[in-house]
Structure 1
Amino acid sequence: MAGAPPLPQPSGLRAWLLSAEPNSRWQARLGRGYLGWRSFTKNPLAVLGLGIVVLLLFVALFADFIAPYSPVIGGDLRTQRLLPPSETFWLGTDDQARDIFSRIIYGSRITLFVIVLVSIIATPIGLLVGTVSGYLGGWVDTVLMRITDIFLAFPRLVLALAFVAALGPGIENAVIAIAITSWPPYARIARAETLMIRNSDFIAAVKLQGASTPRIIFGHVVPLCISSLIVRVTLDMAGIILTAAGLGFLGLGAQPPSPEWGAMVATGRNYLIDQWWVAAMPGLAIFVVSLGFNLLGDGLRDVLDPKAAK
C-alpha cells in the first residue's frame, strides 16, 4: 500500500525565514516577524483595519495632490454655499462654500499629527513610570501608582478639557492635554508586565553578573513590555481621535479655518436637518478611522499577546 505523498517543503526566502536553526539573531527576528504576519493576515478584519490606517497615511501624505480645492478658501457664497454632494463637489460644500471633501483630506493630516505626537509623548512616560514602579516596588511603587490612580479617576475628555482650559485653545495645547491624560493606562500595563518579569531567572542571572538597576530596567524589562504597549496604544488611538475631535467640537482644539474633523462637525450641527452632509461627512471620517485603528489593534493583540493566543 503506497504511503501518503510528502508534504511540500518551503523553498527560497520562505525556507530561510522558516528555518528551525537560524544562523543569526537577525534571521530569527525576521522569521518571527514572518510568522506573525502570516497569523495577522488570517484575520480579515485586522487586514481591513490595516488597510484603513495605510489609506489614512497615504491621504495625509499626498493631500496636496488628492484634494481638488483649497481646504480654507471657499467659493462663491451666492452660488456655492451649502451645496449637496455632486460631481463637482463630491461631498458637498459647507457654510463658507468650501469643499468638504478637500477639508476632510487635509484634516487627515491634523488627525495623524495628533495621533503621532500623543503616542510619542504618552507612551514613553507610561512605560517609564510602569517599569520603574513595578521593578523597584516599595514606596516608589506606592507613590507612582497613587499618582496614576489620580489621573485615572477622571474621565479622559473631562481632564483634557481642564488642561486645555488652563493652557489655552489650540492644536498644540490639545496634543499636550491628551498626552497628559493618556499615559496612566500604559503605566498600569507596564507595571503588570514588570511584576511578572522581575523575579524571572534571567533577571537573577543578570543581577549576578553585576548589572545595575537602570541597565536591567532599560535593557531587559522595557523591551519585554513593548509588545503589550503596542497593542494598547493602537487600541487607544481611536480614543485619542475621539478626544481630539471632542476638543475641536467644543472649540478648544484646532482653530478656524483649520480643517479639523471635530470642528467641522461642530459647524455642521447648525445645518443638520436640511444640509446633513456638512456634519455627516467629517463624522463618517472619524468613525471609519477610529474603526480602522480598533480592528488593527485587535489583530495585533492576537499576534503579539501570547496570553490571547488560542
Structure 2
Amino acid sequence: MTTETSEGLRAWLLTETPHSRWQARMGSFYQGWLTLRGNPMAMFGIAILVLLLLLAAFAPLIAPHDPFAQDLSNRLKPLGTAGHMLGTDSLGRDILSRLIHGSRITLYIVALVALIAPIAGLLVGTVSGYLGGWVDLVLMRVTDIFLAFPRLVLALAFVAALGAGIENAVLAISLTAWPPYARIARAETLTIRNSDYISAVRLQGAGPLRIITKHIWPLCISSLIVRVTLDMAGIILAAAGLGFLGLGAQPPSPEWGAMISEGRRFILDHWWVATMPGLAIFTVSLAFNLLGDGLRDVLDPKDGSQ
C-alpha cells in the first residue's frame, strides 16, 4: 500500500462527517484500535495471546517431541537437558511439548466458556431488567443463589454430579460463571429501558423480544466483552483447579492443571515439573488481564477518555 493510499484510508476512517453507517462503524473500530495500540501493556497481552494461538494452531509442527511418548530412561531430567529444554516429567515425557499441546486444551476451555456464560448471562439479565416485576425477582434470586457459592466449590459440585472430563468441566465452569454477566446486563438494561430511544421504538410497534435483541443487547455487549476478557484468568484458574483435582482433562492429556498435580510430588527435588505449567497459567492469565484493562479503556464509555 502506497503512502498516499494509506493516508487517504486514514483520513476516510477518521473523518468527522461519515457518509454511511459502514464508514462510521469502521472509523469507530479504527479509533478504538488506535486507543488500544497506545496502551503498551495491552499490546503486550495481545502479543502473548497471539503467540498462544500460534502455538495451539501449529502444535504438532512446533513441539519437539510427542507429548504422550514415555521414556523412563529420561525421567525427571532438569532444565536445559539436550533435546529437552524444559526437562522431562516422571514418565520421561518432554515438558515443553506437553505445554505446547496443552495450550490447545486451555484455548478450547476458554473459548467454550466465553461463548456459553456471557450469552446465558446476557439473556437472563436483559429479560430480568426489561420485564421487571416477578420475573426480575425470580431471576435475580436465582442469580444470588449462584453468587453465594465460591466459583470453584460450585464447579466441583457440578463436576461431581456430571462426571469428570473436559466437556463436563466446561459446562460446570459455565454454570458458575454466568451470574456476574447477568448482573451487568440487568444494570445496563435498567438504565436503557425507560430512555426516549426505547420509548420511540416501542411507539413504532416493536415488541419486547425485538427491543431486547435489537436495541438493548447491542448496548450491553461492550461491557460484557470487557468483563469476559477480565474473567478469562479466573476461568483458566478454575479449569486448572479442576484438572489439578483430577476432575477436568483426564490423563494422559497434557492439561496444565493436571501437569501441576503430577509434579507436586516432586516439588522439592524436581521443582520444574510443576513450576513450568504454573508459569504458563500465570503468563496467559496475565495476558488476558492486560488485554481486558486495555479494552476497558476502549469500550467503556465512562472510561474511554482515560
- With the shorter chain as reference, the TM-score category is over 0.9
**Cα drift, residue 73 of structure 1:** 1.3
Alpha-carbon distance in structure 2 between the residues aligned to 1:11 and 1:111: 40
- Indicate which of 11, 15, 22 corresponds to 2:7: 11
Per-residue CA deviation, residues 18-75 of structure 1 (Å, 9 max, x unaligned), is 1111111111011001111111111111111111111111111110111010111122
Q: 1:84 aligns with which of 55, 72, 78?
A: 78
The secondary structure found in structure 2 opposite 1:15 is helix
1:41 and 2:37 matched: yes
Separation of aligned partners in 2, 1:11 and 1:177 = 50
For residues 180-195 of structure 1, what are the structure 2 equivalents within 5 Å? 180-195=175-190
Once residues 69 and 113 of structure 2 are traced to their aligned partners in structure 1, the CA distance between those partners, rounded to angstroms, is 29
Q: Cα deviation per residue 1:193-232 (whole Å; 9 max; x = unaligned)?
A: 0011101111000011000110000000001000000000
What amino acid sits opposite 1:44 in the alignment?
P
Identical counterparts, % of pairs = 70
Measured in 2, the distance between the counterparts of 1:189 and 1:288 equals: 27
Partner of 2:227: 232
In structure 2, what is the Cα distance between the partners aligned to 1:235 and 1:89?
34
- The residue matched to 1:145 in structure 2 has which SS? helix
Q: Which of 94, 101, 107 is the matching residue for 1:106? A: 101
Residues 258-299 of structure 1: CA deviation (Å, up to 9, x unaligned): 000000000000000111110000000000000000000000
Shift of 1:171: 0.8
Q: 1-side partners of 2:47 and 2:149: how far apart?
A: 34
| Cross-structure match for 1:58 | 54
Counterparts of 1:206 and 1:40, CA distance in 2: 34
Distance 1:270 1:128 in 2: 44
Q: Distance in 1 between matches of 2:7 and 2:242?
A: 54
Distance 2:106 2:7 in 1: 43
TM-score using structure 2 length: 0.96
Residue segments in structure 2 that go unaligned for 5+ positions in a row: 1-5
Matches of 1:98 and 1:163 in 2, distance apart? Answer: 32
Partner residue of 1:125 out of 120, 141, 152:
120
Give the Cα separation in 2 of the matches to 1:134 and 1:50. 34
Query: What secondary structure, in the 3-state scheme, does the structure 1 residue paired with 2:27 have?
Result: helix
How many residue pairs get aligned? The number is: 299
Aligned partners of 1:155, 1:169: CA distance in 2, in Å?
Answer: 19
> 1 CA distance for matches of 2:85 and 2:297?
38
Partner of residue 164, structure 1: 159
Normalising by structure 1, report the TM-score. 0.95
CA distance in 1 between partners of 2:161 and 2:237 (Å): 21
**Separation (CA, whole Å) in 1 of partners of 2:152 and 2:30:** 39
Secondary structure (helix, strand or coil) at the match of 2:25 reads helix
Partner SS, residue 70 of structure 2:
coil
1:5 is matched with which residue? none
Residue 79 of structure 2 aligns with an amino acid whose one-letter code is: P
Instruction: State the shift of 1:11 in Å.
Output: 3.3
For the pair 1:282 / 2:260, whether they are aligned, the reply is no
Displaced runs of 4+ in structure 1, greater than 4 A?
A: none
Report the secondary structure of 1:255's partner residue.
Answer: coil
Residue pairs, 1:144-163, within 5 angstroms: 144-163=139-158
User: Please, what is the CA RMSD of the aligned residues?
Assistant: 0.9
1:270 aligned onto 2:261: no
Q: Is structure 2 residue 302 aligned with structure 1 residue 307? A: yes
Residue 21 of structure 1 corresponds to which residue in structure 2? 17
Deviates more, 1:172-181 or 1:17-26: 17-26
Deviations 1:162-191 (A, max 9, x none): 000001111111000000000000000000
